[in-house]
Chain A
Amino acid sequence: MIRLSLLQFRIQAMTVAAVMAGFAVLLTVTGPHLATVYAADGLSSCHGGSSCANLANYFTGSLARGPYGVLFPLSTGVILLAPAVIGVFWGAPLIARELETGTAALAWNQSVTRTRWLAVKLGIGGLAAMAVTEALCLMQTWWAAPISQAVADGASIGVAQSRFSQLNFATHGVTPIGYAAFAFALGVTAGALIRRTIPAMAVTLAIFAALQVAMPLWIRPNLAPPEHTVNPVTSLGGAGPSQTGPGGDTFTLYALNIPGQPGAWLLSSGPVNAAGQATSTTPAACTSVGNTGQSAGAQGNAFPPGQGPAAFVDCLGRHGIREAITYQPASRYWRFQATETAIYLALALALAGYCIRRLNRRRS
């Protein structure tokens, strides 16, 4: 049965091998150059501090304007799409095509039970899916190591992305393994239920895409109870306040980073008053500070002394406004990686089990 699976798997496997080879060549050719740029920008000899962050920002900012500004998102995209492609082109046809062409009647009337037939196919396809996706991930992680290092050095612009960012989290570490296993099992299940290849492919893609959107937005932030912190408004990393309402009597202020928590995942932030309650009312004394400053800034003039966003933030701070931040600490990165991967693997196993049961109970 293993040999039959490999025989039938040949064509799909060759396609994927070709894609992987192309990916490997692209990264191997450009990888050393990327590392040279990193060294040339003086980052390898820098030892922390804000000058290091400036260098790192220069590095990631200039990369974004060159070919790496295309290559980086492209390589990320390949890893993001790989599980979906596997689910659609390996998973969905696995049972559906056998039913459609009638070959299921041939396959299931050899001296091999349907359970074994499907278990072997799921095992081989699932392992291959996980191996392929993780291999792509590891190749890109190696290639993008200078960029990751620059992010650790404090880069936040250009191609720099925090490790918790939606694209980065989903294409690094072990999560691609979980996605690949799940997408494959999802495709097989859709094929078994719908019994026609093309609709099964569409449904697989739709469900997988929906889950990949829902996961970072609504599920991942809740995989561990978030931490809360309240910080001075002057420590938020150059976040600009914006004033609204008549006479600027309301305002919003978002944090861009969390003081003392580099690499943390910022979930939400907002100003609170001295009593610790969320607020958006501008203290009366600050209304004119901000307003005049904004109009001056908008006209391209220099802010008069004691005016402008910085002065406004200072004023807010003097009047007891602080910023409440909800976040996940950077130290939880691998815990999140492991939890999310485990969730997807568990879903994949559940779907696989369901398929085997269904193939035996309902029959074709």
Chain B
Amino acid sequence: MSAVLQAAGLGKAYRRTWALRDCTLAIPEGRVTGLVGPNGAGKTTLLGLATGMLMPTRGTITVLGQRPAAGPAQLARVGFVAQDTPVYARLTVADHLRLGAWLNPGWDDDLARRRIGQLTLDLRQRAGSLSGGQRAQLALTLAMAKRPELLLLDEPVASLDPLARREFLQGLMQAVAAHGLSVVLSSHLVADLERVCDYLVVLVASQVRVAGEVSDLLASHHRLSGPRREPSSLPAGQEVITESHTDKQTNLLVRTDGPVLDPAWAVKPVGLEDLVLAYLSRSGDDTPARHQHLGVVS
């Protein structure tokens, strides 16, 4: 299976601070990938590198097998909706559709007009007077009607109310189903991604903490609770993501590819949100968090 987005040792520094570093990733084709992390974790930087809006300081990135924004053909294969879904405030909705048609040889005007019709947007309305949700939908329509193979969305729903959020994600999922495109969307809220994503990348403090199929991640992470004991006594292959202790009890969130056999543990599955939160609260350095008492996730 080929990767729609492949990064090796990718890093981007602004002056002396790293916005993203040592990023090695391979996002497979045909997935809806959630890029999740707190604000400032490097999500926008990673998407900026993927669109060619930014140039890497270190390492390499290829999108659909090519250098980002390498030429008109490569640009045509990738759709991008930037943070805050920018549109030209002074141009009308119709102007935006015209703009899309002029600048994209693969423009699907039927798709664009159908979507605008479904959204009941007025073609003569200036984009500057649209609501946040309408603006996001217009930006998504532009990105989808160019018929890309990969759609990159940077916090597309962050500024939307819950209803507009749901409508936006529904529209996105319909398009994915209809055109079989790959999607990478970033969010700092797991709840947004939970319903739509089948692949997850967790970015914290400019580094990738975990990446994988959502189903695999859920299957390999367990919440263990049992009598108080030191996590270092766990068998090899069980990596502690978070731990918390009371006088008598120990609660762990572990990652393991095999089953947990120790009968002392009560083993429970982990929800996606808890799993992500566990990685977000884990310490920043690369050493395993075995000796640190962090992240009380109950």
Contacts and interface: CB of A to CB of B under 8 A. Distances in A.
A4 B104 contact: no
A113 B75 contact: yes
A111 B91 contact: no
Interface residues of B, number: 37
Contacts, number: 79
A11 interface: yes
A111 B53 CA distance: 14
Contacts of A8: 88, 91
A363 interface: yes
A103 B54 CA distance: 15
A361 interface: yes
Interface of B: 48, 51-55, 69, 71-73, 75-76, 78-80, 82-84, 86-91, 95, 98-100, 102-106, 139, 142-143, 146
Interface of A: 1, 3-4, 7-8, 11, 101-106, 108-114, 116, 361-364
Contact of B86 (A102, A112, A114, A116): A102
Contacts of A7: 91, 95, 98-99
B12 to A, nearest CB: 10
A116 B160 CA distance: 34
Contacts of B146: 110-111
Nearest to A112: B103
Given A102-B84, A105-B53, 13 more contacts: A1-B103, A7-B99, A101-B88, A101-B89, A103-B87, A108-B69, A110-B146, A111-B76, A111-B106, A363-B52, A363-B53, A363-B55, A364-B54
A8 B103 CA distance: 14
Contact of B139 (A4, A106, A110, A113): A106
9 contacts: A1-B103, A4-B102, A7-B91, A8-B91, A106-B82, A109-B53, A114-B69, A364-B53, A364-B54
Most buried by A among B48, B75, B100: B75
Contacts of A361: 55
Contact of A108 (B53, B79, B98): B53
Contacts of A114: 69
Which 5 A-B pairs rank lowest in CB-CB distance, beginning with the nearest? A105-B82, A102-B86, A110-B103, A111-B76, A109-B80
Given A8-B88, A105-B53, A105-B86, A111 B75 contact: yes
A112 B76 CA distance: 8
Nearest to B143: A109
Most buried by B among A104, A105, A363: A105
B242 to A, nearest CB: 36
Given A7-B98, A363-B53, A363-B54, A109 B78 contact: yes
Contacts of B54: 363-364
Contacts of B104: 110-111
A111 B72 contact: yes
A106 B99 CA distance: 10
Contact of B90 (A4, A11, A105): A11
B172 to A, nearest CB: 17
Contacts of A116: 72
Contacts of B78: 109
Contact of A110 (B73, B83, B90, B100): B100
Given A101-B89, A105-B86, A111 B105 contact: yes
A297 B89 CA distance: 71
B184 to A, nearest CB: 14
A106 B86 contact: yes
Contacts of B84: 102
B72 A113 contact: yes
A105 B80 contact: yes
A362 B55 contact: yes
A364 B88 CA distance: 18
A11 B95 CA distance: 14
A4 B75 CA distance: 17
Given A1-B102, A111-B103, A106 B87 contact: yes
B102 A109 contact: no
Contacts of B48: 364
B86 A101 contact: yes
Contacts of B79: 109
A108 B152 CA distance: 14
B102 to A, nearest CB: 5
Contacts of B143: 109
A102 B90 contact: no
Nearest to A105: B82
B83 to A, nearest CB: 7
Contacts of A105: 51, 53, 80, 82, 86
Contacts of B102: 1, 3-4
